[in-house]
Structure 1
Amino acid sequence: MLEIIVHPDSHFKLKEITSDFYIFEDSSKLPIHNGTPVLFGAESIFNQDDIVNSKVTTQDRSHLDTSNIKNYVRRRLLPSLCKDFNLDKRYEVFRKLIPAGGRILILGAGEKINYYKSIFPDCQVITSDVHNQFNPDFIFDGHFIPFTDNSFDAVLAAQVIEHTINPWKFCAELQRIVKVGGVLQIEAPQSFPYHAEPYDFFRFTFTGMRSLFPECAVVKAEITEGNAANLAVTMSNYFVNLSSKKLIRSSWLFLTRIMFGWLKYLDKLEGLPNRRNVSMPKGYAFTFRKDNTKRNSKDMLQEFYNLKK
């Protein structure tokens, strides 16, 4: 594993590890904090001081604390407004595309580190994030990935790309580090309220997502949460935002979860994207395979039309 680690800016290889630092071949060094390497590039919007000071950035572990009555009600009692019904099955299919013992990088693992390790039991699972709220293996910015070219058999980034300030660079990095023949699982919303502010930057259409991976073929594309979930989330968001007062907002949240939580089950009737539903889903999941074919924009757009035939 250590042989694939490089400096996120210079790509000089790792030379030495001390109790406090990763030291690279050019004698530059990056810190280790509480046992986790913090490998931010110089131009990253994140910095090591935030990690040391436990500053909350894109995610806060306190929302998992169900001893808090508000969290308990939201997480345990109220129905959700949306659900990715095919998640476990999709990952089971994705796992079969990875060779036994293969190395998979999880970006933005968040609170699901144990989940990812359980669903890829025969893989070498490397978890990462931009914070240390849930103790990933590495902390780094996906725009500056500290690994060598062609070093992973698979990459998974679920609900991460919308939080990248430059998704073109992010996707170029993902394609750089995955092996030729390797696979990528990318999941992102098309319609979802602004969240994790200010680290929320983009939404992605079907063709927009496809255009970001010109070195890859599409293995599969599907809607994760469709029009019904989109409707439920939008209506709930409307009522919650009628007021800035916490009690009123919480009351609307409670009521709209009960009123609209059932709508998501209508999405189980939807299948692959088609001309009628491609404009409104809440999210997409793409499975790509890197083949190093150099596709231009016309080539990738033509794939959309071929899919509809």
Structure 2
Amino acid sequence: MTRDIIIHPDTHSKLIEITETLYVFEDGNTLPIHNGVPILFGINSIFSADDIINSKVTTQDSSYLNTSSIKNYVRRKLLPSLCTDFNIEKRYHALLEFAPNNGKVLIIGAGEKVSYYKEKFKNCEVITSDVHNQFKPDYVFDGHYIPFVNDTFNVVLAAQVIEHTINPWKFCEELQRVTKTGGVLQIEAPHNFPYHAEPYDFYRFTYTGMRSLFPKCEVLNAEITEGNASVVAITLSNYFVNLSSKKLIRSVFLFVTRILFGWLKFLDNRKGTPNRRTVSMPKGYAFTFKKDEIKRTSKDLLKEFYTLKK
């Protein structure tokens, strides 16, 4: 049962009771349930239960999905995107090898894709989470303080989340802690992308920077999700849109640049295997790590870079 693996995010005390409005832990601590979703923030989190109860917009605002707005309809339905992760479905399908029937899968930062992840891993016990309740995840918690016991999950997936963590070292330690030995962690993050979801946008990651955060794991797969052409398209569009602070002018530039530069992403439509040339300025990376608990020094991690082809 899921409740058997839940612990208090700060004290790691076991969950002993669930009431209509509270999670009660063995050490006497309690955490709230709001609108049917447990809010499991630690005391040191930059988020709070009050944020959820008061519907404070933090890292995401669900209103951007509302296509009854002309702006959102044009932006989401009519205009071409400036970048696309062409290999995402194949990459997630490969994770099924590590997600046996009834295996446990943890999604960090599920966003609006809660149903997508449930369907993708439909033979598993999928637990979705986020730091807000905009899209009704199973749990709301901060990834720096994951409220699950050690060695729980066969697969842990965090797509476009790590850049929003104020302490990625702590975050990655937690991800590795809750992953079973032999389990995998799927991590996807930008290398070049505009500041977004402000102020909850903290870092960008190089190839070696990302690798260094998972010393207890081997790399099963690493790929460039969107390449240099996507960076060019995004940078040009961002430049023109930000020439003006007037909403109408910005909207016009957004429309025009999407039309002019939206085709560039197709130059990246191939499996983006990193090498010592292509890691210079891609839009983003995807790493599939396998937890093996082998102790690796910083020197060991850096040596792996030199195995990349030139």
TM bracket, shorter-chain basis: over 0.9
Partner of 1:171: 172
Q: How much has 1:123 moved relative to structure 2?
A: 1.0
Q: How much has 1:277 moved relative to structure 2?
A: 1.1
Partner of 1:104: 105
Matches within 5 A, 1:220-299: 220-269=221-270, 271-299=272-300
Matches within 5 A, 1:50-129: 50-129=51-130
SS at match of 1:106: strand
Q: How high is the sequence identity, in percent, across the aligned residues? A: 70
Name the amino acid aligned to 2:180.
Answer: K
SS at match of 1:278: helix
Matches within 5 A, 1:20-39: 20-39=21-40
Instruction: Give the Cα separation in 1 of the matches to 2:128 and 2:308.
Output: 33
Instruction: Give the Cα separation in 1 of the matches to 2:156 and 2:276.
Output: 29
Partner of 1:197: 198
Q: Deviations over 1:254-279 (max 9, x none)?
A: 00000000000000146301122111
Partner of 1:15: 16
Instruction: Give the Cα separation in 2 of the matches to 1:112 and 1:256.
Output: 27
Matches within 5 A, 1:148-163: 148-163=149-164
In structure 2, the gaps of 5 or more residues are: none
Q: How much has 1:94 moved relative to structure 2?
A: 1.4
Q: How much has 1:99 moved relative to structure 2?
A: 2.1
SS at match of 1:154: strand
Partner of 1:186: 187
Name the amino acid aligned to 2:4.
Answer: E
Instruction: Give the Cα separation in 1 of the matches to 2:256 and 2:272.
Output: 30
**Contact 1:103/1:153 (8 A) holds in 2:** yes
Deviates more, 1:97-106 or 1:244-253: 97-106
Instruction: Give the Cα separation in 1 of the matches to 2:83 and 2:149.
Output: 37
Instruction: Give the Cα separation in 2 of the matches to 1:269 and 1:109.
Output: 26
Name the amino acid aligned to 1:275.
Answer: R
Q: How much has 1:308 moved relative to structure 2?
A: 2.5
Deviates more, 1:96-105 or 1:56-65: 96-105
Partner of 2:146: 145
Name the amino acid aligned to 1:252.
Answer: F
In structure 1, the gaps of 5 or more residues are: none
Instruction: Give the Cα separation in 2 of the matches to 1:115 and 1:246.
Output: 33
TM-score (norm 1): 0.99
Aligned length: 309
**Contact 1:81/1:260 (8 A) holds in 2:** yes
**Contact 1:104/1:123 (8 A) holds in 2:** yes
Deviates more, 1:271-280 or 1:254-263: 271-280
Name the amino acid aligned to 1:214.
Answer: P
Two-structure CA RMSD over aligned residues (Å): 0.8
SS at match of 2:256: helix
**Contact 2:95/2:155 (8 A) holds in 1:** no
**Contact 1:226/1:270 (8 A) holds in 2:** no
